[in-house]
Amino acid sequence: MNIIEEAQRVIRVEAEALNAMADRIDGSFERAVDLILGSAGGRVIVSGMGKSGLVGQKIASTLASTGTPAFFLHPAEGIHGDLGMIMTGDVVIAISNSGETEEILRILPSIKRLGAHLISMSGNRTSNLARLSDVFLDVSVKEEACPLGLAPTASTTATLAMGDALAVTLLVRRGFKAEDFAIFHPGGSLGKKLLLRVEDLMHSGTAIPLVQQNALMKDALFVITAKALGVTGVCDSDGALKGVITDGDLRRSLEKGYDILNLRADEIMKHNPLRIKRGELAAAALQIMEHRAITSLFVFEDDQSNSPCGIIHVHDILKAGIA
């Protein structure tokens, strides 16, 4: 056996199964989406045995993380009391390649009596499961990738893809946004990128390094050192930010032989410093810093504000786990 050729054969069999299933998507899929969106309970319960159950757990997880409340119900546990999780108006997605899985069929009468709707994912459209469903989704495959035709391979891949198609279509129909996704993923780096705002990480109040335009550079140097951010803003008498001086500007001025300690801040500062609003994502601030090769941004309440309400440093963002 050629190992590489066998691996390629498996992938091609599964890819062909997905392409064939894509061509079969029809009005039944639309009805399944409408059934979930219009369900009175608003929840989806996914159930399946064995490999179908493992795929069902992933489908339930994907639905839940993309705006459709969902959880997995083991059918064997269901017949011993867990059917109490199902409420009138819920939608049950039952998964069985054969459509004749005993544990699944045993919970169907209770699902009906509870007033829940039933969507089936099966490879057998003439099965009892398909016959008793409100909507049947065909996940049949021509062949399994397993050469014995026994291990669920292409069939589980097709079922998983159908679940993804449902979840993503529902996401689009609900108008689900990246910010909504982040609410369900607050612990990871993705959640931090989509949830943390500039105002959550900025230095404010007396921690903002600022000097007046007519201040001597020795005073500006003291502020840069004391605030430990490598920069100071330069303001006019009304507190409006007019420029910025970085420790890099100081080094370059010294290299040019300037007597910087006796110069005024407005003689050294760079005009029109970059700015960001406090409500912007911290990830957006990091993007600006990386693009412009700077380490800090002064923060403002809005586009009309002239006086900074804070400053954010690249180290603050990286320390928060945003990269």
Cβ–Cβ under 8 Å, residues 189 and 315: no
Average pLDDT in the 293-318 region? 93
Average pLDDT in the 237-248 region? 92
Q: Give the single-character DSSP code of 189.
A: H
- Count other C-beta atoms under 10 Å from residue 304's C-beta: 6
Q: Measuring CA to CA, which residue among 164, 202, 187, 121 is closest to residue 321?
A: 187
Confidence band for 321, pLDDT divided at 50, 70 and 90: confident
Full residue range of the structural domain in which residue 234 is found: 198-319
Which of 40-44, 99-103, 184-188, 257-261 has the largest mean confidence? 99-103
Average pLDDT in the 210-215 region? 93
How many domains is the chain built from?
2
Q: What is the pLDDT of residues 190-201, one digit of tens each?
A: 666 667 889 999
Do 209 and 285 share a domain, yes or no? yes
Do 131 and 276 share a domain, yes or no? no
Kindly report the average pLDDT of the chain as a whole number: 90
pTM of the entire predicted model: 0.68
* Identity of residue 140: S
pLDDT at 258: 76
Q: How far apart are alpha carbons 275 and 294 in whole angstroms?
A: 12
- Count other C-beta atoms under 10 Å from residue 50's C-beta: 14
Structural domain contains residue 188 = no
Q: What is the CATH number of the domain that holds 315?
A: 3.10.580.10
Lowest mean pLDDT among 18-27, 176-185, 262-271: 176-185
Do 28 and 97 share a domain, yes or no? yes
Residues 6+ apart with CB under 8 A from 91: 35, 36, 39, 41, 43, 44, 45, 116, 117, 118, 119
Q: Measuring CA to CA, which residue among 198, 182, 184, 208 is closest to residue 284?
A: 198
Q: How far apart are alpha carbons 248 and 245 in whole angstroms?
A: 8
Q: What is the pLDDT of residues 14-66, one digit of tens each?
A: 999 999 999 999 999 999 999 999 886 679 999 999 999 999 999 999 999 88
Structural domain contains residue 44 = yes
